Structure 1
Amino acid sequence: MTSPRTPTGTTTGTAVQRTTTTTPWEELVTSALLGTDRRPPAPGPGGREGPVALLDEAALRTVRHRAGLLPAEAAERPERAPADPRPPLPAAARHRLGHLLADRSAPSGGSGRRGTAPDLTELLPQWLASANRHGFRAPSVLLPALLDAARARTDLRAHVLGFAGPRGLWLAAMNPEWKFALRGAPGGSLPSDTTDPDAARRLWEEGLFAERVALLVAVRRREPAAALALLSTTWSTERAEDRLMFVDSLRTGLSGADEGFLEEALTDRSRNVRATAAELLSALPGSALAERMAARAVSCVNPDRTGGAASIAVEAPHECDASMQRDGIVPVPPAGRGERSWWLGQLVEATPLAIWRDRFGGRSAQEIVGLPVADGWTEELHAAWCRAAVRQRDPEWARALLGTPSTPPANGPGTASLAERAKLLATLPGAERAVWVADFIAAHGLSEAFQLLGVCAVPWAEPLGRSVVDALDIARDAGSYPWSFSGVMGLAERCLDPAEADRLEVLTATPDEPEGAAPGAGGYWSEAFQRLVSTLRLRSAMERELTPGAP
């Protein structure tokens, strides 16, 4: 508690005199903390004592403090909010947004059960993405609630700032709690006009670090060469940690035009900057660094000509020389890794995949991956090829390394890691990705598929959605509790095609419990499917409300 100042000074030239003797504020606080029985305050007017005297004195001191404040000088009025030419939300969609922001989802209660009501907090990002896709502007009255939601949840910020538009940025400048909006969103929303070269240059030279990063990303999306020229003007004077973020932004629109700049960055003082520059150069198959890496890799990985059948011979590097380190090879391996295997993996990862076809007599990626590898190097070599396929966005090699969905991950041609498999899947077209994961679920069930589902396009294509629902239905019939499938069920609520709601209605009934089933499991499954169906119907209604001309 802070002490209000008693106005004993002068106010506009007139002395303000005390009319009564007052107790020091610190003593009032002490009496309040210890209790008036232990530390009684001085009697107040009219002989009041105890708590009444304490409260009277505190009220008197507060009024005197407020009355003694000098009036502040009038501040300049803020500029008018900028116009937003986008069309307003339809009335139903505006009402829905208010409902989502208020988070009126039904509480689960003390039992831990979620109930059958949709989780509105999980649907807000989807609603915002759809509103942005349709090009609506945010209602002015809901801008504060939108900015508060984005302040609390970083996953909403790009959607919110795009939806709030110029008026959201104007309003954010009025409240320090919304200053995150002024730093720019991942989508490149900025408080400046980045299409004006002079304004962009001023912001680049004078802006905060986060503003400069957002500016670079926004310009890079529109005109990669202009962003590179902007970065080049101040590169030599930037701090190491800032240079790392700036060079990483060159991933957007990366092309051969960036090679000269990135080659110079290979000699940067910062090891992290050098490593990032090397990674970007290795993603350019025609770069000089990619050629240097290829020359090193083919001296290590070759067709084995000692036996009758085709196979792969591996001779890992015996040292990591200065030129390798300059090109981004990290010399010291992590704990538990051997040096030579660590160096080999980095070399192969940074080598253009196209060279292996010529190296192995014109064989396809699938044929090369299927060749036996001598001396136990299979896992290391395949893992490096997986990372190369992801870095170079090569779908042919991704397919070869994924293998057939029915093959158990531990026996597959590429990697047993589901996280790495998810990255490989992300390089494939959306429809092909959905079919592969659907077949994987049919062969191995849902327990292995959660990470793979996360990279599939939303809404899930028909074969994938049907495969997920069938697997959930099988788990329900088995009589176990649905809790181990709660993650998949949550994904289904957000990712299944809303048109599936009517087909899933039959699963909302409580099934007969088979012999040996967990007690009450059928009721839990019924509840989970009711929530799934109601969420799909809500998503369908949300999309109709945002679609102009829809009934």
Structure 2
Amino acid sequence: MTRSTSVSLWEELVTSALLGTDRRTPPRAVMAQGGEAPVALLDAAALHTVRRRAGLLPAPAAARPEPAARDDRPLLPEAACDRLAQLLAGRSASSAGGRRSAAPDLTELLPQWLATANEQGYRPPPPLLPALLDAARARTDLRPRVLAFAGARGLWLARFNPEWRFALRSASGQGVPLPETTDAEAVRRLWEEGLFAERVALLTAVRERDPGDGLALLSGSWATERAEDRLMFLDSLRTGLSDADEPFLERALADRSRNVRATAAELLSALPDSALAGRMAARASSCLGMDHSGERPAIAVEAPHECDTAMQRDGVPPTPPTGRGNRSWWLGQLVAAAPLSTWPGRFGGRTAREIVALPVMDGWREELHAAWCRAAVRQRDAEWSRALLGAPGIPSEAGPGTSSLAERAKLLTTVPERERADWVAEFIAAHGLSEAFQLLGVCAVPWSGPLGGAVVDALGTARDTGGYPWSFSGVMGLAERCLDPSEAGRLTLLTGAADGTGSSPSGAGGYWSEAFQRLASTLRLRAAMHRELTSPPPDKAADPGVRGP
């Protein structure tokens, strides 16, 4: 039987099977064998399948892929390898009725484990790379840490599975093998031929060594880059941002991509001596002034009446989001982009704290303070952040600072870590945990002693005053990841006293006991994880049971 005849017969068999032998009689050669049509069709298909497989010619071998780049980082210790496999296979523990059990939630410990492994400079065992990439595909929050840990081999492996394509487009660039940034030819070749993640990592590395060289690298290919790539490359200029970047960023204000224009304007507004910052300062100053007509000085506001083309070129969107008025939107954009150094001179030499304490006329206070909050975060100005935060122990509505917890959380990121933790600890001591979730999320991990103590004390108070642990589930989840493991001893005491004591309502004590048990066991597990990753390897030479070479 020739190949063409074989293919034609197979196609006829398939057609008869799809339509049914009642509607499409099998080929005559099949029916000639005798028997009922359905049976004859199946017999012929089985025979033909064997013939097709037996006659299959081997395909030409594909080119072997280039091997992955060498990874000289030390391999994980054996105990840490076992722990990683456990975390990757872990699931949230639950008990009857949907309640969480007292067992730790392994999936929530993976980010911290990865962070420590990266700090120690380990590389992963190759058999676990697929599971690591699968975890990063499912959880975007894991991707930067996973890609840093997976390194060059993980990036190489991602090329062979479409589901891991995110790794090739990742903007983190961590773990990507890079040439020496002083090797101009190797840098040029990777910039022209590399994957997106490699190019982002390269630009960041060059910027860290010499911001001018990084800017020249980006400028050379800027016109040919895709809009989404231009946006990510432009974001890399935050590394080493200086006045030398201003001409390039000014040209980017005319980019055809709205997002690129907005990012360029934001970067320029972070340069207090830039022309854009000066233009914004002039516009914002014309909107704000002192009013001395009342019993005490106040800030008078005259918001813009239009958003002209010059404002739009400088990054002010003419159309506000739904629910925002045009004038308040434009005012907020101008004030947020103006250098904070503008305001002491505008308000009679007052300090940031004194300016924030001034009354604002005609109901503009909330809008004005929100814009100053954005400016303080953008310009990383700790003095203005402290003024806008206000005192942690004073009710937000009674203080001079912002009352928004989201704004306070962002402002806290501009002050030193210890000061940040102390502020949040005082806030919790004064107001409890019900409003502290966002604030706790920006504190350094593990939480400092005063902050961790304030959280544990507040949880104990919540139990004693009749609360239920699920009312604080967000804080409890953070505590599992962020409390110092040394707090496990205090939690053990709370665990023993929680059931059947205090003023908890009937049945609540058991829930609290279970929650504190889980929290304590999670802290002990985190301590074990840390030891596995940071303990020095055993000295085999000192072991009399180990023979030399």
**How does the TM-score come out when normalised to structure 2?**
0.87
Query: What letter matches 2:283 in structure 1?
Result: R
Paired residues for 1:224-373 under 5 Å = 224-307=211-294, 309-373=296-360
SS of 1:302 mapped into structure 2: strand
Q: 1:410-447: per-residue Cα shift (whole Å, max 9, x none)? A: 34423222111111111111111111111111111111
In structure 2, distance between residues paired with 1:229 and 1:251: 15
Give the counterpart of 2:137 among 140, 151, 162: 151
Is contact 1:217–1:252 with CA below 8 Å preserved after alignment?
yes
Deviations 1:297-322 (A, max 9, x none): 22222222334533222222333333
CA separation in 2, counterparts of 1:59 and 1:438? 75
Whether the aligned pair in 1 keeps the contact of 2:135 and 2:142 (CA below 8 Å) is yes
What's the CA shift string for 1:313-364, capped at 9, x where partnerless? 2222333333222222223333333333222222211111122222223322
Partner of 2:425: 438
User: What corresponds to 2:542 in structure 1?
Assistant: none
Check the 8 A contact 1:402/1:412 in 2, yes or no.
Answer: no
* SS of match in other structure, 1:116: coil
Cα shift at 1:239: 4.3
* 1:59 to partner: Cα distance: 4.3
For 2:308 and 2:398, the matched residues in 1 are separated by 36
Q: Partner of 2:234: helix, strand, or coil?
A: helix
* Cα drift, residue 544 of structure 1: 0.4
**C-alpha distance after superposition, 1:117-173 (max 9, x if no partner):** 111111111111101101112112322222222232222222222222223233333
Q: Which runs of 5+ in 1 are unaligned?
A: 1-6
1:380 aligned partner = 367
Alpha-carbon RMSD: 3.2
The worse-fitting range, judged by mean Cα deviation, of 61-70 and 485-494 is: 61-70
Alpha-carbon offset, residue 176 of structure 1: 3.6
- Equivalent residue in structure 2 for 1:193, among 179, 184, 191: 179
Equivalences, count: 534
Contact 1:386 1:414 in 2 (8 A): no
Q: Distance in 2 between matches of 1:17 and 1:267?
A: 60
Q: Deviations over 1:187-239 (max 9, x none)?
A: 44436537343343334334555654454344334432222112211223444
The 8 Å contact of residues 289 and 327 in structure 1, kept in 2 or not, is answered as yes
Which residue identity does 1:473 align to in structure 2? G
**Aligned positions of 1:106-145 closer than 5 A:** 107-109=93-95, 111-145=97-131
Residue deviations 1:34-61 (CA, integer Å, cap 9, x gap): xx99999999999998998887665444
- Secondary structure at the aligned position of 1:111 is classed as helix
- Structure 2 residue 3 is the aligned partner of structure 1 residue 9: yes
Question: Secondary structure of 1:24's partner?
Answer: helix
Matching of residue 24 in structure 1 with residue 13 in structure 2: yes
| Match of residue 4 from structure 1 | none
Show the counterpart of 1:170.
156
| Counterpart selection for 1:511 from 486, 493, 499 | 499
Distance 2:32 2:470 in 1: 67
Change (3 A) 1:45 1:123: farther
Whether the aligned pair in 1 keeps the contact of 2:421 and 2:448 (CA below 8 Å) is yes
Contact 2:151 2:176 in 1 (8 A): no
Contact 2:246 2:268 in 1 (8 A): yes
Structure 2 letter corresponding to 1:144 = P
Q: Which residue type is aligned with residue 71 of structure 2?
A: D
**Normalized against structure 1, the TM-score is what?**
0.87
8 Å CA contact 2:336, 2:375 repeated in 1 = yes
Match of 1:416 among 403, 406, 417: 403
**After superposition, where does 1:444-463 map in structure 2 within 5 Å?**
444-463=431-450
Q: In structure 2, how many angstroms separate the alpha carbons of the residues matched to 1:86 and 1:426?
A: 32
* Greater alpha carbon shift after TM alignment, 396-405 vs 152-161: 152-161
Contact 1:460 1:497 in 2 (8 A): yes
Match for residue 56 of structure 2? 69
User: What per-residue deviation string (whole Å, max 9, x for no partner) do you get for residues 450-487 of structure 1?
Assistant: 11111111001111111111111112123332112111
Give SS of 2:237's match: helix
> Given residue 160 of structure 1, which amino acid in structure 2 is its aligned partner?
V
Q: Matched residue of 1:179: which SS?
A: helix
Instruction: Tell me if structure 1 keeps the 8 A contact 2:75–2:124.
Output: yes
- Counterpart for residue 3 of structure 1: none
For residue 299 of structure 1, give the secondary structure of its aligned residue in structure 2. Answer: helix
The answer to whether residue 529 in structure 2 is matched with residue 542 in structure 1 is yes
Specify every segment of 5 or more residues in structure 2 that has no aligned partner in the other structure, as ranges: 539-549
Query: Structure 1 vs Structure 2: percent identity of aligned residues?
Result: 69
Moved more, 124-133 or 241-250: 241-250
Q: Which is further off, 528-537 or 213-222? A: 213-222
